[in-house]
């Protein structure tokens, strides 16, 4: 079966088998290995992508269901060769350990910040509740999302911070 959808703002067409899951198509057919396969049961969030603006576990989405839709993976966040402000915030806050969960965390954070640019700490916790990290506590991850919200508000306001971002 031929599948057509918008992937990271680029139209794609790929041959799939109907039972294939989105995570497998992204990784195995399209080579986007930033989407991690963790539990395969929608419990860990390592496979999180953004589907039509919402964070979803791609290991639970039949690939055929993305026909004509928009998918964003971690590879789609880079802008002009630089990390996206959310990615940079994770780096700056020290919210990355082994990195396995990081793409899913960042995409869950992006979906949240796209919907709610100034979330409370509780809203951040709720948005990240489906993403598990075994290396670190969640304090730095939550701080990274707050830092990203601030950085994005500066960008949207046309301002820059002390580092020129």
**Contact in structure between 2 and 66 (CB atoms under 8 Å):** no
* Strands, E assignment, 63-154: 70-72
Beta bridge partners of 10: 7
- Rounded (10°) CA dihedral 58, 63, 26, 129: -10
Lowest-confidence segment of 102-111, 114-123, 140-149, 150-159 by average pLDDT? 150-159
| Domains of the chain and any CATH numbers | 2-76 (3.10.20.30), 85-156 (1.10.150.120)
Beta bridge partners of 56: 49
User: For 34-58, how does the pLDDT look when each residue is reduced to its tens digit (9 = 90+)?
Assistant: 999 999 999 999 999 999 999 999 9
**Contact in structure between 19 and 75 (CB atoms under 8 Å):** no
Average pLDDT, the chain: 93
User: For 131-165, how does the pLDDT look when each residue is reduced to its tens digit (9 = 90+)?
Assistant: 999 887 799 999 999 999 999 999 887 654 444 44
């Amino acid at each position: 079966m031929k599948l057509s959808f918008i992937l990271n703002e680029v139209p794609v067409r790929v041959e799939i088998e109907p039972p294939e899951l989105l995570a497998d198509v992204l990784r195995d057919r399209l080579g986007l290995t930033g989407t991690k396969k963790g539990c395969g049961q929608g419990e860990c969030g390592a496979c999180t992508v953004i589907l039509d603006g919402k964070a979803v576990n791609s290991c639970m989405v039949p690939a055929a269901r993305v026909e004509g839709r928009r998918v964003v993976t971690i590879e789609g966040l880079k802008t002009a060769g630089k990390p996206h402000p959310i990615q940079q915030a994770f780096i700056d806050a020290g919210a990355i350990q082994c990195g396995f969960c990081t793409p899913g965390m960042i995409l869950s954070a992006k979906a949240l910040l796209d919907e709610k640019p100034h979330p409370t700490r509780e809203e951040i916790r709720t948005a990240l509740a489906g993403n598990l990290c075994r290396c670190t506590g969640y304090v730095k991850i939550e701080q990274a999302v707050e830092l990203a919200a601030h950085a994005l508000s500066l960008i949207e306001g046309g301002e820059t911070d002390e580092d020129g971002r």
